[in-house]
């Protein structure tokens, strides 16, 4: 089986990362609006699994964003992010083994957590080592039990994916120290049950 980071590196080299932005932008916009609504003070932000950095660049335009960081385990994605935005803060590292110098107010992650063998371990690590008390984390996934058409993806890509239900994801947030856990579906239509969004507060 292939490592997910190798697949994403290949996508960065062949331009498929641009399609990721196009396909996920509507759901991501809902996620970012959800965590930043009513914000009137400066905040810091990490995009976990940032790809080519498009979400970081979007957050940099928010009037109250004081700093936005992107981290990804695919070196070619980070190389591309730096090429597009040389002044941005993009880090090549294993998410499970990295922590920021200063904890942040918001963590965002789109289509990343299910690639880990133990997503709860990563959720706990980010909550404990990345996030300020009172900070918020939000994640989006298209691969989940209620989205039946996604179930073939691990075989299609020949990589590991952890298939969890909406309730499983909420429980992972709760058991790893998050409060006010919520879920909703973004960008749903007749053919697609929507991106599953889960958020919580430390």
Residue pLDDT, tens place only, 69-121: 999 999 999 999 999 999 999 999 999 999 999 999 999 999 999 999 999 99
| Residue (of 15, 13, 7, 23) closest to 140 by Cα position | 23
Beta-strand runs (E) in the chain = 43-48, 65-72, 89-92, 104-110, 131-141, 179-186, 195-201
What pairing do the DSSP bridges indicate for beta strands 89-92 and 131-141?
unpaired
DSSP symbol at 191? T
As a whole-number percent, the residues of the chain with pLDDT over 90 amount to 93
Using alpha carbons, list the distances in angstroms from residue 128 to 13, 32, 101, 133, 178.
34, 21, 13, 9, 10
Task: Tell me the Ramachandran region of residue 187: left when phi exceeds 0, alpha when psi lies from -120 to 50, beta otherwise.
Answer: left
Give the distance from CA 119 to its chain's centroid.
12
What spatial distance separates the first Cα and last Cα of the chain, rounded to whole Å?
35
pLDDT value, residue 17: 86
Q: Is the CA virtual torsion 69, 70, 76, 82 positive or negative? A: negative
The angle formed by the CA atoms of residues 159, 73 and 114, to the nearest 5 degrees, is 45
Which two three-digit tokens encode residue 69?
């960081």
The angle formed by the CA atoms of residues 145, 19 and 3, to the nearest 5 degrees, is 60
pLDDT value, residue 19: 78
Complete domains list, the chain, with CATH: 4-201 (3.40.50.150)
Residue 63: band (very low, low, confident or very high) from pLDDT cuts 50, 70, 90? very high
Q: Which residue has the higher pLDDT, 15 or 174?
A: 174
Residue 31: band (very low, low, confident or very high) from pLDDT cuts 50, 70, 90? very high
How much is the average pLDDT of 58-71?
A: 97
Residue 68: band (very low, low, confident or very high) from pLDDT cuts 50, 70, 90? very high
Contacting residues for 163 by C-beta, under 8 A, at least 6 apart? 114, 143, 144, 145, 151, 154
pLDDT value, residue 22: 83
Does 21 score more than 90 pLDDT?
A: no
How much is the average pLDDT of 156-178?
A: 97
């Amino acid at each position: 089986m292939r490592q997910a980071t190798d697949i994403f590196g290949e996508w960065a080299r062949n331009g498929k990362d641009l399609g990721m932005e196009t396909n996920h932008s509507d759901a991501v916009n809902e996620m970012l609006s959800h965590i930043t609504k009513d914000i009137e003070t400066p905040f810091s932000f990490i995009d976990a699994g940032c790809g080519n950095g498009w979400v970081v660049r979007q957050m940099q335009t928010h009037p109250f964003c004081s700093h936005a960081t992107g981290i990804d385990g695919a070196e070619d994605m980070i190389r591309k992010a730096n090429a597009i935005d040389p002044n941005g803060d993009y880090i090549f590292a294993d998410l499970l083994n990295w922590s920021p110098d200063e904890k942040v107010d918001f963590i965002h992650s789109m289509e990343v957590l299910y690639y880990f063998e133990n997503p709860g371990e990563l959720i706990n690590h980010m909550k404990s080592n990345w996030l300020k008390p009172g900070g918020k984390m939000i994640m989006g996934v298209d691969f989940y039990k209620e989205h039946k058409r996604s179930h073939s993806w691990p075989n299609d890509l020949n990589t590991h994916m952890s298939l969890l239900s909406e309730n499983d994801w909420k429980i992972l947030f709760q058991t790893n120290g998050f409060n006010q856990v919520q879920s909703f579906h973004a960008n749903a239509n007749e053919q697609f049950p929507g991106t599953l969004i889960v958020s919580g507060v430390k």
